[in-house]
């Protein structure tokens, strides 16, 4: 049976829009510490760009772009970034043991700049994890729905 193809207009528009959606997600992640947005919101937007890709280019195309192994690595990497920044704060805050007090991490020689850079690192970690988890939830639900459709004779 021949697979149903989506509209060429939808494919072209999504091919043009997905990089801009991802760029906007990075903007939301980076500027989230000083304004509205942040790691969670940017991660959801980034994950939605992968979901849009799957909706337009089907399951196989989406899994080629974001395989399950890469998704696992991204979700773990984001968590490690978040926890790593917190542990660095503990290590450099000698005697104070202040988890996620970014000012103690010696990125620069200024306490305020260190806090800003530490906050950006944490936001990036959160964004990576949320993106991977949002895409994973979608792939899991889509796979579950596909198996149910196969059992009932629908495709």
CB 121 within 8 A of CB 87: no
Domain spans of the chain?
8-151
Q: Which of 40-54, 59-73, 141-155 has the lowest mean pLDDT?
A: 141-155
Length of the chain measured in residues = 155
Name the phi and psi angles at 152, rounded to 5.
-90, 0
* Half-sphere exposure (Cβ direction) of 62: Cα atoms closer than 13 Å: 22
Percent of the chain beyond pLDDT 70?
90
**Tens-digit pLDDT profile for residues 27-63:** 999 887 777 778 899 999 999 998 998 888 887 777 8
Three-state SS at 23:
helix
Tokens of 68: 């399950």
CB 60 within 8 A of CB 146: no
Nearest Cα to Cα of residue 137 among 82, 68, 83, 79: 68
Tokens of 111: 């306490």
CB 24 within 8 A of CB 111: no
Q: What is the rounded CA–CA span in Å between residue 130 and residue 128?
A: 6
- Band (pLDDT 50/70/90 cuts) for residue 106 is confident
pTM of the model as a whole: 0.81
Angle formed by the axes of helices 39-65 and 111-151, nearest 10°? 40
**Tens-digit pLDDT profile for residues 2-22:** 556 678 898 899 999 999 999
């Amino acid at each position: 049976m021949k697979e149903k193809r989506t509209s060429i207009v939808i494919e072209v528009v999504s091919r043009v829009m997905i990089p801009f959606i991802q760029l906007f997600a990075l903007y939301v992640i980076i500027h989230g510490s000083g304004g509205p947005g942040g790691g969670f919101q940017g991660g959801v937007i980034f994950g939605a760009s992968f979901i849009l890709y799957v909706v337009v280019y089907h399951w196989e195309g989406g899994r080629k772009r974001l395989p399950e192994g890469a998704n696992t690595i991204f979700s773990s990497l984001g968590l490690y970034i978040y926890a790593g920044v917190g542990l660095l704060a503990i290590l450099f805050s000698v005697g104070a043991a202040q988890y996620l007090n970014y000012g103690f991490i010696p990125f620069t020689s200024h306490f305020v700049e260190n806090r800003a850079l530490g906050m950006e690192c944490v936001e990036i970690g959160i964004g990576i994890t949320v993106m991977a988890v949002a895409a994973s939830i979608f792939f899991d639900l889509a796979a579950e729905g596909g198996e149910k459709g196969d059992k009932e004779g629908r495709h």
